[in-house]
Every structure is written in structure tokens, then in C-alpha cells.
């Protein structure tokens, strides 16, 4: 008897519990392609294409001249900044010798409790001196300039497991709940060159500005630096808003329309629609990944037969990058740095970089949430946050190292972003 392989059913992007709770299946979108077709836009920002797109959009006319109802003419506060106005002392929390010793003591205390390493938190990782400094850093992240770099941790003193405990212990003072970063349920993702193709591409490619999708706090531990380049670059999304509000209010309208098609990379549904800009409770919230909107060929092409971006969407996405780039801060990166970003108000990217045999860029990424401090989320983002932080139906994996027991790279726990 001949067996016939049945077609594989696509993996559900949302678990059954989330589909029921948020009525996901009742809101599936079927988008008709625009009359003029989809825009020719790539993952990498192209200056010439952006200029041509802007000229075409302006020439077509019919653009909104006023801001959407209820949107402010400008935002103010510490979250509005330009890189030229910042100095390293503004955002670096340098660990003193007392604080470094305190971290070692906290690690030993936690280990003495006999708990699973993932159970580390403020209550089990006591930092009497550093803790108040981290409390101030938390205020900076959520209600100040939006990011902080904790500097001075000697990562070479720790085993892989102990380093993760320290990382989780320190960052728990900012946000204690951790989220699943992919379909498999990886809680830690190792950001590095996994293949020679990655290494070749990353020598010349600077990633475009984006936020991670999704979390309110993005944490990045620098386990090792590249031989050349690879610095983290940040920009105030609130400053981007102010410039667009003053010069191109029509782009604000484009950004807040709930018709941006996010690729789910072959899952069911194959894409979902939502906005990338929200104004909720006097907070301007940004959440988008250029990769999910354009694909990143050839390694991560956009899924076939799902909507692309319209000309206005493509121009808006490029405009956000161009303005963010004009106000960016390129921070120094040191081994042991812990970067903590407000993922709702800060855009980020990274430089191109080149590894060598002794210096291979390696970051450990963590998505975190603070229920008390997180800005009030609009309904579409509540679903996104719930998928990351509240979905108990998916498995949970903690890859302490990017290398498995067989000596091979754990593909799903690795990203080259």
C-alpha cells in the first residue's frame, strides 16, 4: 500500500485561548490590493527610493493637512531628545566595586535557595545598594529618556547558567516578567552571526530603525563585542513624532491606520493587520518591525500571497527611519554592558560589524514587562502583549548558550539582528 503524505497544517500563530479571549478569528482581514499595486520597498533603507517615493506621494496630492483628532501638536519631556544633546554620563550606570560584590553575593544567596534559575527576581536576588540605583534607572526607562546602560559587569567570571541568573536578577529590578520571543517559546535569544552568510551580510548592512515585537522593555546583555563595529544605535520615537507632526501630518494618519500587514512567517493567519502608532493615555506608543512588513530577502523573504505596503505606507516607513537617523545616538558598546530600552518610545538599530577569530559579537536578548509601569496599551497591542507574556499554551525554552549539547547552533534561539 502506498502512503501519501498529507499536507502540513500551518502552525497557529495565536493559541486557542488567545483566539477565544480576543476573538481573533472574527477579525481576520482580507485586503484588496491597491489599484496602483504594492510599493517596491526592501528591508534595507534606500535613500534614492525614499526620495522618489516622497516626490510621487506629494505629487499625487490628497494628503491630510491636519493632525488626527486628539493628537498633540508636539510631545514634551525627557523622552524627546536628539543624540547631539546627550553625553554618556546621562545614560550609563557604572557599577562600583561595592555593587559588583553585591551582585556576587546576591548570586550566592539565590543559589543557596535551591530554586530553578528562572525563578530569580527582586525578592530572591537582594541588591541593597544597587537596587535603589536600578529603581532610578527604571524611572528613566519608563518616564525619562527611555534607556539606560548598566556597565561594568565582568561576564567572564560566570558560567553560562550563573550569568543568566545575574542577568535576570539585575533586570528584574526594571521589569520582572519575561516573555516568549518566538513560536517555540524561547525566553532568551542569542544575537550573533550564526552562519557565514550572516557574517558576510552583516559586514555591510546597518539594520533599519524598528522596535521589537513585542515588549515594553528590551534588554540586551553584551557577552562579547565584534572586532569592528556593531554598536547599538538609538533614537527617540517621540522626537520623530514631533518632526512629522510639524511637517507631514499626513504620515501620522498613515501610521495610525490599522491596515499595516504584519507577516506571521507561514503561520495561521498568514498575516494580521494593525497600526504601528498609537496615542493612549497621553503616551505615544510605537510598535513595528520592518522585517515583518517588508521581509528581508534572501534569508527571510516576505510570505507569498500576502499584502505588501502601499506607496504611502512605504514612504511613511522610510520617513520614520530617515528622521530617527538624523537624531540618533551611537552608543559605545563594552563587554558586559546591559542595555535596557523602553520599547514603546525608543527606536533602535545596530551598525554593520565584522567578527574575527577572537572577537565575535554576541548579545543575549530578553523581552520584559512591568505590569505597574507599562504604559496603558490600546486593545490591538493587548493581544500582542498577551501572546508574549500570557500564553501558557506554548512551551517555554531557556537556551543558556547558543550551542546545543550536540555542539551545533540552536537555530531557533539565535538571531542575527
> Which of these, 79, 88, 69, lies nearest to 330 by C-alpha position?
88
What value does the mean pLDDT of the chain take? 94
According to CATH, the superfamily of the domain at 40-417 is Clavaminate synthase-like (3.60.130.10)
For residue 7, what pLDDT is reported? 47
Burial of 407 (0-12, 13-18, 19+ CB in 10 A): exposed
For residue 406, what pLDDT is reported? 76
C-alpha torsion sign, points 83, 87, 89, 90: negative
CA distance 78 to 356: 39
Confidence of residue 304 (pLDDT cuts 50, 70, 90): very high
Is a pLDDT exceeding 60 seen at residue 2? no
Is a pLDDT exceeding 70 seen at residue 100? yes
Is a pLDDT exceeding 60 seen at residue 28? yes
pLDDT tens column, 218-244: 999 999 999 999 999 999 999 999 999
DSSP alpha helix (H) spans, 185-340: 196-202, 237-247, 249-256, 290-294, 311-326
- Are 269 and 107 in contact, with CB atoms under 8 Å apart? no
Confidence of residue 27 (pLDDT cuts 50, 70, 90): low
Confidence of residue 31 (pLDDT cuts 50, 70, 90): low
Can you tell me the mean pLDDT for 339-343?
Answer: 98
Confidence of residue 3 (pLDDT cuts 50, 70, 90): very low
For residue 298, what pLDDT is reported? 84
> Which of these, 80, 74, 59, lies nearest to 249 by C-alpha position?
74
pLDDT tens column, 184-205: 999 999 999 988 989 998 998 8
Report the predicted TM-score, pTM, of the whole model to 2 decimal places: 0.95
Domain boundaries, the chain: 40-417
Is a pLDDT exceeding 60 seen at residue 5? no
pLDDT tens column, 129-182: 999 999 999 999 999 999 999 999 999 999 999 999 999 999 999 999 999 999
pLDDT tens column, 376-414: 999 999 999 999 999 999 999 999 999 876 777 777 788
For residue 159, what pLDDT is reported? 97
pLDDT tens column, 241-264: 999 999 999 999 999 999 999 999
> Which of these, 56, 62, 71, 60, lies nearest to 252 by C-alpha position?
71
For residue 6, what pLDDT is reported? 39
Pairing of strands 271-274, 260-263: antiparallel
Amino acid at each position: 500500500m502506498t502512503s501519501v503524505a498529507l499536507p502540513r497544517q500551518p502552525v497557529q500563530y495565536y493559541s486557542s485561548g488567545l483566539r477565544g479571549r480576543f476573538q481573533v478569528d472574527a477579525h481576520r482581514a482580507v485586503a484588496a490590493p491597491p489599484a496602483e499595486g504594492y510599493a517596491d520597498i526592501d528591508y534595507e533603507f534606500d535613500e534614492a527610493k525614499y526620495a522618489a517615493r516622497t516626490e510621487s506621494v506629494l505629487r499625487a496630492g490628497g494628503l491630510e493637512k491636519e493632525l488626527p483628532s486628539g493628537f498633540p501638536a508636539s510631545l514634551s519631556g525627557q523622552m524627546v531628545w536628539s543624540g547631539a544633546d546627550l553625553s554618556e554620563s546621562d545614560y550609563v550606570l557604572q557599577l562600583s566595586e561595592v555593587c559588583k560584590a553585591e551582585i556576587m553575593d546576591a548570586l550566592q544567596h539565590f543559589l543557596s535557595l535551591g530554586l530553578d534559575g528562572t525563578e530569580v527576581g527582586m525578592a530572591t536576588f537582594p541588591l541593597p545598594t544597587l537596587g535603589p540605583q536600578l529603581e532610578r534607572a527604571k524611572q528613566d526607562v519608563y518616564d525619562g529618556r527611555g534607556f539606560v546602560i548598566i556597565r561594568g559587569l565582568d561576564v567572564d567570571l560566570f558560567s553560562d547558567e550563573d550569568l543568566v541568573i545575574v542577568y535576570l536578577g539585575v533586570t528584574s529590578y526594571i521589569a520582572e516578567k519575561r516573555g516568549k520571543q518566538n513560536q517555540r517559546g524561547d525566553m532568551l535569544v542569542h544575537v550573533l552571526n550564526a552562519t557565514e552568510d550572516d557574517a558576510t551580510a552583516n559586514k555591510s548592512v546597518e539594520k533599519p530603525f524598528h522596535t521589537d515585537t513585542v515588549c515594553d522593555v528590551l534588554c540586551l546583555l553584551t557577552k562579547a563585542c565584534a572586532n569592528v563595529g556593531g554598536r547599538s544605535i538609538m533614537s527617540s520615537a517621540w522626537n520623530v513624532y514631533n518632526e512629522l507632526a510639524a511637517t507631514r501630518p499626513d504620515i501620522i494618519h498613515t501610521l495610525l491606520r490599522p491596515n499595516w500587514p504584519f507577516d506571521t512567517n507561514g503561520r495561521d493567519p498568514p498575516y494580521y493587520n494593525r497600526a504601528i502608532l498609537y496615542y493612549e493615555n497621553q503616551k505615544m506608543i510605537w510598535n513595528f518591525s520592518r522585517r515583518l512588513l517588508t521581509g528581508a530577502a534572501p534569508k527571510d523573504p516576505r510570505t507569498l500571497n500576502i499584502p505588501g505596503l502601499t506607496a504611502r505606507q512605504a514612504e511613511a516607513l522610510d520617513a520614520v527611519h530617515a528622521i530617527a537617523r538624523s537624531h540618533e545616538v551611537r552608543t559605545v558598546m563594552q563587554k558586559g554592558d546591559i542595555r535596557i530600552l523602553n520599547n514603546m518610545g525608543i527606536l533602535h538599530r545596530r551598525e554593520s560589524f565584522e567578527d574575527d577569530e577572537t572577537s565575535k559579537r554576541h548579545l543575549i536578548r530578553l523581552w520584559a514587562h512591568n505590569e505597574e509601569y507599562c504604559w496603558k496599551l490600546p486593545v490591538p497591542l493587548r493581544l500582542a502583549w498577551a501572546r508574549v507574556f500570557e500564553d501558557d499554551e506554548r512551551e517555554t525554552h531557556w537556551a543558556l548558550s547558543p550551542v546545543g549539547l550536540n555542539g551545533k547552533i540552536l537555530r531557533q534561539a539565535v538571531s542575527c539582528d
